[in-house]
């Protein structure tokens, strides 16, 4: 299986505080990979480094065999689309305008007719047609999250990287989005996501990884929930429940 992103001997520190230590991991092309871990464990720092937002790390990060820092802005935009955990919009753009900013790396500040056509297609794909003319700050948190995912699709990247994409989404839209991500992979994209919900991870992901002790560890078998690893990561016990072939992974509430 070809490698989309490879991280070799990577470490990162803020001053004397080590955040990541000797990370070695490969994320495969055309797979849906999920990274599970606690708040403050270094997941977001890892993803910001992968996408080139953070520099100053030790080691090597390669995107399709190319060191991330050697990619031009336009080439990186074609390869990687990133949805951070937190985002802020200063201007009162409409939803359509927000989507069109996803083409800025390619069309600058003058959207083309093709860009506007693509925006309509993305709105339809995500069921957001009714929000087209609404102002982004007036939307609910869940609506804003779906619009930002639409903006990512406007970029049309080969690799989609998401930091807690189900944030603010209700149960319906969580599963709606996860099925969409599976569809993106089926159509040839690579998806890598940070998540907090083991059940969604094991139901939808092809590969599961854990953030533990400042590094990344792959699951031995993504089809079988690793309750011992989950216990080590989250410091609580878990149950693995099967219902009509669905994998349901729940914390018991009993902390170690």
**How confident is the model over 198-212, as pLDDT tens digits?**
999 999 999 999 999
Residue 94 lies in a domain: no
Helices (H), the chain: 43-50, 73-79, 95-100, 104-107, 113-125, 141-155, 171-186, 198-204, 227-234
Q: Which residues pair with 230 in a beta bridge?
A: none
If one counts the domains in the chain, the total is: 1
Question: What element of type H or E holds 237?
Answer: strand 236-243
Residue 81 lies in a domain: yes
Residue 196 lies in a domain: yes
| Per-residue confidence (pLDDT) for residue 222, from 0 to 100 | 83
Query: Closest Cα partner for 55 from 17, 85, 10, 24?
Result: 10
Instruction: Output the DSSP codes for 78-97.
Output: HHEEEE-S-----S--BHHH
Q: Which residues of the chain have pLDDT under 50?
A: none
Which domain, by its residues, includes 163?
3-86+158-255
| Per-residue confidence (pLDDT) for residue 91, from 0 to 100 | 64
Residue 106 lies in a domain: no
Residue 145 lies in a domain: no
Residue 80 lies in a domain: yes
Residue 180 lies in a domain: yes
Kindly report the pTM of this predicted structure.
0.91
First to last CA, the chain: 38
Residue 135 lies in a domain: no
Per-residue b/e over 148-161, b at no fewer than 16 CB within 10 Å? Answer: bbbbbbbbebbbbb
Question: What's 191's domain CATH number?
Answer: 3.40.50.300
Rounded to an integer, what distance in angstroms lies between the CA atom of residue 225 and that of residue 202?
A: 7
């Amino acid at each position: 299986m070809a490698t989309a992103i490879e991280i070799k001997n990577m470490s990162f520190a803020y001053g004397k505080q080590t955040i990541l230590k000797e990370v070695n991991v490969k994320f495969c092309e055309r797979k849906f990979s999920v990274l599970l871990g606690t708040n403050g464990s270094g997941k977001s720092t890892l993803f910001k480094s992968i996408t080139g937002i953070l520099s100053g790390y030790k080691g090597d990060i390669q995107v399709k065999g190319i060191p991330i820092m050697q990619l031009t802005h336009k080439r990186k935009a074609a390869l990687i689309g990133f949805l951070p955990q937190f985002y802020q919009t200063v201007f009162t753009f409409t939803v359509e305008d927000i989507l069109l900013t996803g083409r800025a790396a390619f069309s600058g500040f003058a959207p083309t007719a093709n860009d506007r056509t693509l925006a309509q297609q993305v709105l339809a794909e995500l069921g957001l047609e009714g929000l087209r003319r609404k102002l982004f700050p007036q939307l609910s948190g869940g609506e804003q999250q779906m619009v930002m995912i639409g903006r990512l699709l406007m970029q049309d990247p080969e690799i989609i990287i998401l930091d807690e994409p189900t944030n603010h989404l209700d149960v319906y839209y969580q599963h709606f989005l996860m099925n969409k991500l599976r569809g993106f992979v089926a159509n040839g994209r690579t998806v890598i996501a940070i998540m907090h919900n083991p059940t969604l991870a094991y139901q939808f992901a092809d590969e599961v990884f854990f953030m533990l002790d400042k590094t990344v560890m792959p699951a031995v078998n993504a089809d079988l929930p690793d309750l011992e690893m989950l216990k080590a990561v989250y410091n609580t016990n878990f149950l693995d429940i099967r219902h009509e072939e669905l994998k349901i992974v729940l914390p018991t509430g009993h902390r170690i």
